Amino acid sequence: MAIEIEKSIVGLSKIANSNTHGEDSPYFSGWKAYDEDPFDELHNPCGVIQMGLAENQVSFDLVEEYLEKNGEAINYGSSGFSSFKENALFQDYHGLFNFRKAMANFMEKIRGGRAKFNPDRVVITAGATAANELLTFILADPGDALLVPTPYYPGFDRDLRWRTGVKIIPIHCESSNNFQVTPQALELAYEEANSKKIKVRGILITNPSNPLGATIQRSNLEEILDFAVRKNIHLVSDEIYSGSAFCSSEFVSIAEVLDSRKYVDSERVHIVYSLSKDLGLPGFRVGTIYSFNDLVVTTARRMSSFTLISSQTQHLLAHMLSDEDFTGNYIKTNRDRLKRRYEMIVDGLKRSGIECLKGNAGLFCWMNLSQLLEKSTMECELKLWNKILCEVKLNISPGSSCHCSEPGHGLPIDFLPASRLPLTLLGLMASKLQQLQSKACQASQFLSKHGTTYYKQLLEQNKQYIVEPPTVEKCNELSKQLLYTRLASIPGRYESFWKEVDAVKHIWRNRKELKVEDAGIVALFGLECFAWYCAGEIVGRGFTFTGYYV
């Protein structure tokens, strides 16, 4: 068979071939399971309930009401700023001024006016996903690292690393102090980077935290900022859940800390914001970078050419967010509703004996299921997660996908979609979890009881093979006996092998006298050998009949 000389064909890039996009992680495979069998109250009541998607659906009515009353946000006037033509042509990467102004005002309102935002420092991006990647491109070179406290949003693995070539070094946080970032943990992470000769360019924190659902305390923020100043690195504060803090005063933005320090050292601080969580508009792709560093603002603006917000959407939001009545009412109502939902789920889980981390923000709670694990390992956590997905039919995200260093100590469970269901269904879910817990207990009890009886029976039946005394030394001796006896049998086997070969030779020499049946057997054997050979060829060629594919 001639071997063809394959001309070399360029494939795809390393980035395209890598799996740093992270879509093979359980976080995403749970989504896939949900897509294949989604819960529906009427049509598919046994389907998977999606509790792994942090979406805010509680306050849509407020937005819809606004749109009903304010048609000019979606329609256009005939001239001037609000004409369709002007809007459709507007591709300036500075973004619509009115939109930036409205965003800056909205961000101020969320922080209760405790920090001021300048519209000229607002850079627009198509979602926070783009904002985080963009900032990483600007602040770090390939091979450098960002320090990120664990547990963190699984998407960061893709957003911060995939195309940028930047690494994430985790800042390990523990349940013993409610997963707060400590100066020691910061130092440890920094040292880890140093020992691997990796340059640290910045810290990225999410405040309020995803997946913990808790705000970072002021003193903690001060410590983190001090650390950044000491090491002369950047600090990125992803504040996309700032409007989802249940109580305004409990959320402290890094901007407030800077304000109290009169903006000293502020050129290393950058804030990421988005309307996907607070306003529940992930489809509209509205993200921003707010930086206190002029060069970062200029560069980010230029880079935002790759990821601008549709001017149609900017137009809509410029109107909506400039409406003081709407924004004031929305922020307050949204907070109240989220708080109520949170309390509902935490109560429900408590009644099933499941504790959550005390949270005060976000669209999810951080559940502790460590008592359901057979062993405190990541494998057991994944096993449990799989069971919850396939048997209990809930898609929740395992803590390991968020890089939590303690198995079972946290599974983020997004409570918003669940709360669209009536309370009875929620109760059903809670009872299912309880069932699971008791089943796990029963299974281990069964195993322990019946296992012992079976063991005793087995030994009784085979007692003639037991060599006394059954000690470890005896077992070692026996295994040595086995090994050397086998070795000694080799010459004998060698002899019998050659006898076999001689027999075959003899048959071949006298093949004319071969009986038909024997000949048939030989022929079949030959065919079988050939078939195996063909199979090997096909496999070696990459499961095709023609050509060699590398």
Active site amino acids: 153, 238, 240, 277
Q: In the set 102, 140, 216, 252, which binds other proteins (CB under 8 A)?
A: 140
Q: Which of residues 199-218 bind other proteins (CB under 8 A)?
A: 201
Which stretch, 129-137, 173-181, 252-260, 488-496, contacts other proteins (CB under 8 A)?
Answer: 129-137
Q: CB–CB of 18/162 below 8 Å?
A: yes
Contact flag: residue 5 with other proteins (CB under 8 A): no
Return d(Cα 245, Cα 22) in angstroms, integer. 29
Contact flag: residue 277 with other proteins (CB under 8 A): no
Rounded to the nearest whole angstrom, what is the least distance from the CB of residue 25 to other proteins in the complex? Answer: 13
Contact flag: residue 158 with other proteins (CB under 8 A): yes
Residues 6+ apart with CB under 8 A from 391: 436
The phi-psi region of residue 435 (left if phi > 0; otherwise alpha if psi is between -120 and 50; otherwise beta) is alpha
Rounded to the nearest whole angstrom, what is the least distance from the CB of residue 457 to other proteins in the complex? Answer: 55
Contact flag: residue 85 with other proteins (CB under 8 A): yes
Rounded to the nearest whole angstrom, what is the least distance from the CB of residue 221 to other proteins in the complex? Answer: 21
Which stretch, 157-165, 397-405, 440-448, 515-523, contacts other proteins (CB under 8 A)?
Answer: 157-165
Q: How many residues bind other proteins (CB under 8 A)?
A: 74
Q: Which of residues 238-267 bind other proteins (CB under 8 A)?
A: 267
Q: Which of residues 90-119 bind other proteins (CB under 8 A)?
A: 90-91
Q: In the set 1, 5, 10, 42, which binds other proteins (CB under 8 A)?
A: 10
Contact flag: residue 284 with other proteins (CB under 8 A): yes
Rounded to the nearest whole angstrom, what is the least distance from the CB of residue 128 to other proteins in the complex? Answer: 11
Q: Which of residues 455-494 bind other proteins (CB under 8 A)?
A: none
Residue closer to other proteins (CB basis): 73 or 389: 73
Q: In the set 12, 264, 487, 516, which binds other proteins (CB under 8 A)?
A: 12
Cis, peptide link before residue 398, omega less than 30° from 0: no
Q: CB–CB of 14/163 below 8 Å?
A: no
Long-range contacts, stretch 260-269, CB < 8 angstroms, 24+ apart: 263/292, 265/225, 265/228, 265/229, 266/292, 266/293, 267/292, 267/293, 267/294, 268/202, 268/228, 268/229, 268/232, 268/233, 268/234, 268/235, 268/293, 269/225, 269/228, 269/234, 269/235, 269/236, 269/237, 269/293
Q: Which of residues 48-77 bind other proteins (CB under 8 A)?
A: 55, 57, 60, 63-64, 67, 71, 74-76
Residue closer to other proteins (CB basis): 211 or 282: 282
Strand order from edge to edge, sheet including 355-356: 355-356, 364-368, 411-414
Return d(Cα 520, Cα 538) in angstroms, integer. 27
Phi, psi (deg, nearest 5) at residue 171? -100, 105
Q: Which of residues 299-358 bind other proteins (CB under 8 A)?
A: 299, 302-303, 305-313, 316
Rounded to the nearest whole angstrom, what is the least distance from the CB of residue 88 to other proteins in the complex? Answer: 5
Return d(Cα 252, Cα 17) in angstroms, integer. 41
Rounded to the nearest whole angstrom, what is the least distance from the CB of residue 283 to other proteins in the complex? Answer: 3
Q: What is the DSSP letter of 352?
A: T
Per-residue binder mask for other proteins (CB under 8 A), 13-32, x = binder: xxxxx---x-x---------
Rounded to the nearest whole angstrom, what is the least distance from the CB of residue 275 to other proteins in the complex? Answer: 10
Residue closer to other proteins (CB basis): 112 or 142: 142
Residue 486 is encoded by which pair of tokens? 């086998």
Q: Calculate ∠ Cα 421-427-429, nearest 5°.
A: 80
Which stretch, 214-222, 285-293, 383-391, 490-498, contacts other proteins (CB under 8 A)?
Answer: 285-293
Q: CB–CB of 441/402 below 8 Å?
A: no
Q: In the set 113, 283, 451, 469, which binds other proteins (CB under 8 A)?
A: 283
Cis, peptide link before residue 151, omega less than 30° from 0: yes
Contact flag: residue 296 with other proteins (CB under 8 A): yes
Total Cβ atoms within 10 A of residue 81: 14
Residue closer to other proteins (CB basis): 71 or 526: 71
HEC sequence for 392-439: HCEECCCHHHHCCCCCCCCEEEEHHHHCCCCHHHHHHHHHHHHHHHHH
Tokens 């992803």 found at:
238
Contact flag: residue 33 with other proteins (CB under 8 A): no
Rounded to the nearest whole angstrom, what is the least distance from the CB of residue 282 to other proteins in the complex? Answer: 4
Return d(Cα 56, Cα 341) in angstroms, integer. 11
Q: In the set 100, 234, 270, 409, which binds other proteins (CB under 8 A)?
A: 234
